[in-house]
Chain A
């Protein structure tokens, strides 16, 4: 018996019970896989995805203004490629990094395959297919350029580069909503993946400072700050998100003068922010607790004021420890955007349900849900992987074996 077979036997068939379990699992997995593949290839009708791909992507965004969204996607792709390349061309000082490690080659191959094969498989219009190919090419090209010429960038330029991301965010907001000479597109026309990404990124960006403030407040010695933070955090953590969303939609109008209220989408985005901030505060709190008291005492004895101590000594250490839990919160936030469909907003899930209500596509629920599941799974899994990569880059000694999401 070859070593492989011997190992298989000792692993899978050590005892009769083990053997039976292994056989059962193998049978189950094979049956499921074969059934799924057969269904996907023959019975499933993917026309529902193809016919509504624009709806899924951007909702009812006006056709003639969609070039703005393509522009934004191109900008984001280029920025991603350049950041990725720069990260690889400037490895950590104490580790030697390859310009094209195996993971990178895998990921690029995967992205290229998806970008090239998927539009063809979905039989999208030729114009759309070309755009996706161009985007995939842009990603590969920017990655290669940044990797090749990244070291030639001067240090000030390198330090200023991360500012590109907030800049793109602001440009993106202008491109999406209009103004500055562009035709305004009202928020009620934003939908699909665009709306999901928008609300998720808005909530993630804003809940971070708020959560840190709440965590600091909760650990503060000042009783007023502590009690305010505690009441806020416990109140938010005790309520289901959907009740808070409904509160935002119905009662917010009563809390403002004249019954005036911002657009439904912004209301929901703010509720998501305040909701996530409470949970993030808990994650950051555990990070703050892990910083030894000696650090604060040493900093103060060196003459640093309290805000300076916080900013330069405590928070960097605390956030590094809390990073896995924080990213876990961000992933939950991305998943929670699906609840916006229950208050009538047409984000990805809402659009999916509208599409399935169309009797022309009756009975094809499974295709749509599976596509959505795959989409969410990829985004969340990518975030999880990114978090682990970030952890590694920041401090390899405290790499946790798995992210411990609540």
Chain B
């Protein structure tokens, strides 16, 4: 039996197609399955809190704003060139890891603390990007209560959100200093603060930035004070899963780009000039590599070559993000503190882009 003419042509064509496909797969690009899926979908799905002013907050008009939101937008700009191609999912603390593990959200940018058990494959198996906000756990009390130290909270009820490292840290700290207390646990932040404002508990504990953020939206912010005690280290970090290391790398270097841009003095306003400058001068090697004018670092991550330019044009550098969301340009008015560049004594340090 001989192959019919059409079938005879099909075989070589099929082989050629296979070889061509293989050739495309190799080369300078490594495609992450997750990244391909996101590109195919046309938008990034980002898990956020949605109720935390300064970090991720949705206003009555449905618009999202905040530091975590800006990180999501930076990622979307890196992939699509358009910071608006993001779909936000409001997640509470109980469901955030399940949503990330199941693939319901691609990126968890929800003021999540990086811990060993969350990183480890035997634990939650998450992959963490560089920390975007170094925080610590604190305690807020009404100014009129006269409480200034943790020991003064002996025997009193303290409101805490369940399902967070906060409740564990609270238990550890209070046991360490030998102070008995009553924990009142609620499922969501709303209920926790509602119970605190309702007077049910004399104190509420959470990350200091979160306490400051919530306080800024209270009817009478000056009536509440944050205690000086810092009860734990809380590095707030965007997270993805261990399942796709290439995607995790793409996220990691997007965040690094934000930090590196501030170090190099590149802002949203001057990015265009900087690009022109980089294209014109061949001796500014660092700048050219960073902005994608030379080298193929973008392709190595599976992103466009000029992904850094797209990111900075969309959201600005880390310093700008910090200032407008939680710093002097916002209602929270937090100090840079340890969130400053390493050149200024802070902890923000990006590895080199080469």
- Interface, chain A (partner B; CB < 8 A): 51-52, 55, 60, 62-63, 186, 188, 249-250, 253, 259-261, 263-264, 342-344, 346, 353-354, 356-360, 362, 365
Contact = CB atoms under 8 A, between A and B. Distances in A.
B216 to A, nearest CB: 9
Contacts of A261: 102-104
Given A343-B95, A357-B51, A188 B89 contact: yes
A342 B103 CA distance: 21
A344 B87 contact: no
Interface of B: 51, 58, 60, 62, 87, 89-92, 94-95, 98, 101-104, 187-191, 193-194, 197, 217-219
Nearest to B50: A354
A353 B91 contact: no
A344 B189 CA distance: 12
Contacts of B98: 249-250, 253
Contact of A60 (B62, B101, B103, B104): B62
A250 B94 CA distance: 10
Contacts of B62: 60, 62-63
B39 to A, nearest CB: 18
A362 B219 contact: yes
Contact of A344 (B58, B95, B101, B103): B95
Given A250-B98, A344-B95, A353 B103 contact: no
A63 B187 CA distance: 30
B92 A344 contact: yes
Given A250-B98, A253-B102, A356 B91 contact: no
A51 B59 CA distance: 13
A354 B103 CA distance: 25
B103 A356 contact: no
A359 B216 CA distance: 10
Given A253-B98, A259-B102, 18 more contacts: A60-B58, A60-B62, A63-B62, A186-B87, A253-B101, A342-B187, A344-B92, A344-B95, A353-B190, A353-B191, A356-B190, A357-B51, A357-B188, A357-B190, A357-B194, A360-B217, A362-B194, A362-B219
Contacts of B58: 60
Nearest to B190: A357
B136 to A, nearest CB: 24
A342 B94 CA distance: 10
**6 cross-chain pairs, A with B, having the tightest CB-CB distances, nearest first:** A357-B190, A253-B102, A359-B217, A250-B98, A344-B92, A359-B218
Which of A52, A354, A365 counts the most B-chain CB atoms under 10 A from its CB? A354
14 contacts: A60-B58, A62-B62, A188-B89, A253-B102, A259-B103, A261-B102, A261-B103, A263-B104, A344-B92, A344-B95, A353-B191, A354-B51, A357-B51, A359-B217
A62, A264, A360 pick with most chain B CB within 10 angstroms: A264
Contacts of B95: 249-250, 343-344
A264 B92 contact: no
Contact of B194 (A62, A63, A356): A356
B37 to A, nearest CB: 11
Given A188-B87, A344-B90, A359-B217, A259 B187 contact: no
Contacts of A360: 217
Contact of A354 (B89, B102, B190, B193): B190
A40 to B, nearest CB: 22
Contacts of A250: 95, 98
A63 B98 CA distance: 30
A264 B90 CA distance: 12
A249 B98 CA distance: 8
Contacts of B218: 359, 362
A250 B163 CA distance: 15
Nearest to B99: A264
Given A188-B89, A343-B95, A344-B92, A359 B104 contact: no
A296 B217 CA distance: 69
Contacts of A60: 58, 62
Nearest to A63: B62
Contacts of A260: 102-103
